[in-house]
Structure 1
Amino acid sequence: MSNDALRAVSPTTDVGSFPDRRADRAVVVDQVRAVTADWDRANGPEDFPAARLRDLARLGALDAFVALPDEAAIADLLTVLRQVGGADLSLGRVFEGHINAVQLVEAYGSAQQRVTLIEDLAAHRTFAVWNTEPTPGMTLAGHGDGFALSGAKCFATGAGHLDRALITATLPDGAKQMVLADIAGQPDRVDNSAWQVRGMRGSMSGTFDFDGMIVSRDALIGGPGDYEREPRFSAGAWRFTAVQLGAIEALLRHWRTHLLATGKGADPIQRVRFGAAVAATRSANLWVARAARLAETARPHAIACVMMTRGIVEDAGLQVMEGAARAVGTASFFAGSRIDRITRDLGLYLRQPVPDQARDRAAAAWMEADCWGDDPWW
């Protein structure tokens, strides 16, 4: 099928929007804050956090942030991402991917696809976004009244445990098309055996084989190239920095608890190191909040701000991980230690794609842009 024909059957995107959940969000934020505090004390599972994900669904967190109509909604999502990340980074990764997926469907889907999305969320179905793929990659070709998929996705967070995956598949001309695939109840397509990592084990980011899967025309979300449309594509990274920030803040709290419990807080060297970590974490908090506002309101320089924020959060994370390890010592490396769990998970999660390139893009934009006035973009 030609790209022109594909565009002819692709959903329109100029129709109604998802209902505003403003009345519910405050309740969701409070309930998530309470339940994640319990999770933090209980540490986290090494396997997929299915029970915790069901709790987020029960509390309404999976469908409260499909639309972000104002800055209050953006701030609420930021809070929930931080709270979940501070309690369980694997769950935070799953939750952030779910939010990304449903927002993409809401942004680019047709009226009927949005209705289906509402129904899926009401049934507590969970979503993911999978883009990374092994060679030769994913392709999409016409097949009768629908389309046939060929290829696989790797680093597929939640593989074997979620219900829907928003994936990208390459068209004959090289453009990427979003496809919303039903991935529930297909264990033969899942391979998590290679996900042998020190951290983020619970995210179950294995491989899902799509070879031979047939999807209908209704599974196509938006048109060719919409997945990588800016500023949403790059600026959306603010969400995972919020999850990471939550873990950094939790690690800082555990570090403080150790200093107070052991009396080490009386040592000025310990206090200097801890104070520097507090400053780095608070700075990261401000950057994430600013990045979220710019990204979700599609403001100028949003991408550059988010790229710089990635580096700021990474630096804070590395500083807090090292400082906590120095303060707590050998005990921080024992299995079952909350500090050990956060450090292992965060160490991996901070390795998001091309971190050096992100910093370079931000610095280049900062040098070129007129951003030194009374109201600097950053």
Structure 2
Amino acid sequence: MTHLSNLNADAASLDLACRLLDDAPWDGVDGPSGPSLAAALRASGLLAQCATLAHHPSDPLHLMDALRRVGQSNLSAGRIFEGHVNAVKLLRLYEGPMNAVRQGKLHGIWGADGPDPARLEGGILRGQKLFASGADVLDRMIVTVRSVDGLRLLLLSRDQLSERLFPDEWQVSGMKATASGRCNLDGVALADTIPLGPPDAYMTEPHFHGGVWRYAAVQLGAMQALTALTADQLVARNQQAAPLQAMRLHRMILSCETARLWLTQAAGRVEHPDARPADAEAAILARLRTAEEAVSLLTQMDQALGAASYATAHPADRIRRDLSLYIRQAGPDTLALASVTRILSDPGLRDRWIG
């Protein structure tokens, strides 16, 4: 009975989150702002549910559905929520503090470095993190920091980074509400952070690359939103029976279903306690396949809706810009080449994926 009660609570929180995201006040042509999206996620109770949902959930498809549906409501919110899931999973894996999670605090992880990489020198942090998603809204953040022993995971609070966050530097055409700006760590003392796990723990499979299916699930939500929008507009124009238009919509539906099937497989293989490092390959391939299907879907949508959908007031325009940027992160070409190398060099992987 307790298990069913938890599932019902998760579902109720997810339903509320999607309603609140759909109703969030718009900030110009780019949709709701980051603070509005974060407020909706906090108010729904969904963030606290991640204490159990984020790591080895009883049914991985519940986690996939949460990621997909938040992305369907708003892709920037989906990115922020996926970062929260990722951070909570790391806290669970490496026995980090969970009280803030249970209180519904918004977490994230910042792993990208730039010309001045984040590093540890004599007990003091130096350098900066880039692409720090949610820099204007996160309560707790995990950062990756280089050290002589390997890559370290360190947990900080927002108070510790006062005047060190620069979300306004995020000047891009899509995913604006994620405010993925810069974080200056220079001068922060290691003693003021909470280390998580041993050095290089972050790179452990199947949790590192094995997690890429999760942000692809968010992207699937946006693909489904665009497909629904296209269907509605074709019906409104009385074009749904036009052969070329019907075929375009048909291809969009197939793209969504292809991505869903790949992601369902990946979630099932990765999100359980007995997952092996080699299972990460399913997540990598699912992430790459989702991006390819998203490109195809965007092409079909553009042809179906025409130039009108490029108007900044058109509901497809922001989602198109957001999704086009999101599928380019992070390094899909490098990910694909490394995947092929592993599959060809590992007899087990070759047998699984080539036969």
**TM-score of the aligned structures, taking structure 2 as reference length:** 0.89
**Secondary structure in 1 matching 2:203:** coil
After superposition, residues 2-151 of structure 1 pair within 5 angstroms as: 23-33=5-15, 35-37=17-19, 39-40=21-22, 45=27, 46=30, 48-68=33-53, 72-109=58-95, 113-114=96-97, 117-118=98-99, 120-142=100-122, 147-151=123-127
Give the Cα separation in 2 of the matches to 1:181 and 1:220.
Answer: 9
Shift of 1:49: 2.7
CA contact (8 A) 1:102 1:127 kept: yes
Give the Cα separation in 1 of the matches to 2:25 and 2:239.
Answer: 24
Gap change, CA 1:44 and 1:289, over 3 Å in 2: farther
Shift of 1:220: 0.7
**Secondary structure in 1 matching 2:155:** strand
Gap change, CA 1:242 and 1:267, over 3 Å in 2: same
328-337 or 260-269, larger mean C-alpha shift: 328-337
132-141 or 236-245, larger mean C-alpha shift: 132-141
Gap change, CA 1:134 and 1:300, over 3 Å in 2: closer
**TM-score of the aligned structures, taking structure 1 as reference length:** 0.83
302-311 or 353-362, larger mean C-alpha shift: 353-362
199-208 or 44-53, larger mean C-alpha shift: 44-53
Give the Cα separation in 2 of the matches to 1:66 and 1:34.
Answer: 18
**Secondary structure in 2 matching 1:135:** coil
Structure 2 residue 141 is the aligned partner of structure 1 residue 161: no
* 2:248 alignment partner, one of 273, 278, 289: 273
Give the Cα separation in 1 of the matches to 2:334 and 2:226.
Answer: 27
Question: Over residues 184-209 of structure 1, what are the superposed CA-to-partner deviations in whole Å (9 max), with x where a residue is unaligned?
Answer: 37442122333111100000000011
Give the Cα separation in 2 of the matches to 1:73 and 1:310.
Answer: 20
Structure 2 residue 174 is the aligned partner of structure 1 residue 189: no
Residue number in structure 2 paired with 1:244 = 219
Give the Cα separation in 1 of the matches to 2:168 and 2:319.
Answer: 23
Give the Cα separation in 2 of the matches to 1:135 and 1:364.
Answer: 28
**Secondary structure in 2 matching 1:266:** coil
* 2:270 alignment partner, one of 288, 291, 295: 295
Gap change, CA 1:122 and 1:366, over 3 Å in 2: closer
Gap change, CA 1:192 and 1:258, over 3 Å in 2: same
Give the Cα separation in 2 of the matches to 1:199 and 1:255.
Answer: 20
**What is the aligned-residue RMSD (CA, Å)?**
2.7
Give the Cα separation in 2 of the matches to 1:41 and 1:369.
Answer: 51
Residue number in structure 2 paired with 1:180 = 155
Shift of 1:21: 7.3
Shift of 1:321: 1.2
Q: Would you tell me which structure has more helix in proportion to its own residues?
A: 2
Identity among equivalent pairs (%) = 29
Unpaired runs of 5+ in structure 2?
A: none
Unpaired runs of 5+ in structure 1?
A: 1-19
Gap change, CA 1:300 and 1:157, over 3 Å in 2: closer
Aligned residues, how many? Answer: 347
Question: Over residues 339-361 of structure 1, what are the superposed CA-to-partner deviations in whole Å (9 max), with x where a residue is unaligned?
Answer: 11110000000001221232233
